[in-house]
Amino acid sequence: MSPAIQSKLPNVGTTIFTVMSSLAAEYKAINLGQGFPDFSMNAELMRLVSEVMQQGHNQYVPMQGYMPLREALAEKANFLYAADINPDTEITITPGGTYAIYTAFTTILQPGDEVIVFEPAYDSYIPNIEINGAIAVRIPLSFPDYSINWASVRLGITPRTKAIIINSPHNPTGAVLSEDDIEQLRTIVQDTNIFIISDEVYEHLIFDGIEHQSILRYPDLLQRSFVCFSFGKVYNCTGWKLGYCIAPGVLMKEFRKVHQFNCFCCHTPSQVALATFVKEKDAYLSLSVSMQERRDYFSKLIANTRFDLLTSHGSYFICAKYNRISEETDKDFSIRLTKEAGVATIPVSAFYKNADDHKVIRFCFAKKKETLEQAAERLIKI
């Protein structure tokens, strides 16, 4: 018999993305649940990766990441956000954005520390905090636009507040932070020792002509920040699980202490290929247009159903109310929709501790037109 484990995450089950994707596979449903594109990634990037493998780039790169890639990312941060980032000391390549966020939390948190988290929150944040013995202080975003109520944030701050995690564009809602939000954040953190973890994995998936308010634009805020990115979201290759973190040298030094004994370094061929491909500005600048087209196409199709879409200004996602269709909880409704209508979605209560049930589900529209059309045909019937 195996010895019993005293669970470090007693309140956690299997992530909703795995649950819904398994159900979608079992019932052969169209999967608009878990966030991943069903269209092909960039052909040139694929070609580059296989080329560099053939050339022999198959052994470890330095623990911090392949230097030419870090240099290219520092140039990109300068081009986009006028940020002055030292590629040697301020960027680390990680196996995905989720890992970068986890490592940032593990770097700064001590048992009993508090972290301000906005709900709905991406489902890894709170387990990341709790596994470090820290406490998530949950602040609800205002329904239905999911904006931040900064007065509530001020009330949530205590002497034990160690960090605030922000996410723009936001998963699951597609809400984005404005310049005013950044100003409010600045007012709250100035003259404190509060860190910021900024989840910017959807930086290029931002619509309606809105400018992404990266923390990299604000040198004073960057001094206290870990800014996390994902190549999977930029190049439509979520399965690559490659990302990076940018933070000031003193913070990055500690981040690397955690990272070096966790994965040490990441997949070499992808980094070597990306060192070249990151310089292709069109590849990332065109993303907001192509993804906005998918959002608009899906919205047009859904207009013929009894779902009421909420506003999404970014990410892969758009949320919808279904209260004209059913009184069920969002979880029950999502499961029934998968089994009976053949369309998998994500119940938004999965992003809340105390399942705030506004009867809202999340659709992923990062799909081929045909996939969206087939899903809409099924959704019209219910």
**Minimum CB separation from ligand GLN for residue 363, in Å?**
11
Q: Enumerate residues 6+ apart whose C-beta is below 8 A from 291.
A: 205, 207, 316, 365, 366
Smallest distance from the beta carbon of 248 to ligand GLN, in angstroms? Answer: 27
Q: Give the residue from 114, 131, 137 showing the smallest Cα distance to 6.
A: 131
- Residues forming the site for ligand PMP (CB under 6 A): 35, 96-98, 122, 167, 171, 199, 201, 230, 232, 238, 241, 243
CA distance linking residue 95 with residue 270, whole number of Å: 11
Tell me the sheet residues that pair with 117: 138, 165
Collapsing DSSP to helix, strand or coil, 325 comes out as: coil
Q: Are 115 and 136 in contact (CB under 8 A)?
A: yes
* Nearest C-alpha neighbor of 208 from the set 292, 118, 120, 285: 292
Q: Which is nearer to ligand PMP, 15 or 323 (CB)?
A: 15
37 binds, among ligand PMP, ligand GLN, none (CB under 5 to 8 A by kind): none
Q: CA–CA separation, 311 vs 66, rounded Å?
A: 39
Q: Which is nearer to ligand PMP, 167 or 271 (CB)?
A: 167
Say whether residue 17 binds ligand GLN (CB under 6 A): yes
CB of 244 to ligand PMP, least distance (A): 10
34 binds, among ligand GLN, ligand PMP, none (CB under 5 to 8 A by kind): ligand GLN
Does 168 interact with ligand GLN (rule: CB under 6 A)? Answer: no
- Tell me which residue has its CB nearest to ligand GLN: 35
Farthest-apart Cα atoms in the chain, separation: 59
171 binds ligand GLN (CB under 6 A): yes
Taking the complex as a whole, the smallest distance from the CB of residue 95 to ligand PMP amounts, in Å, to 8
In 3D space, the residue among 176, 103, 97, 163 whose CA is nearest the CA of residue 135 turns out to be: 163
167 binds, among ligand GLN, ligand PMP, none (CB under 5 to 8 A by kind): ligand PMP
By the criterion CB under 6 A, which residues form the site for ligand GLN? 15, 17, 34-35, 171
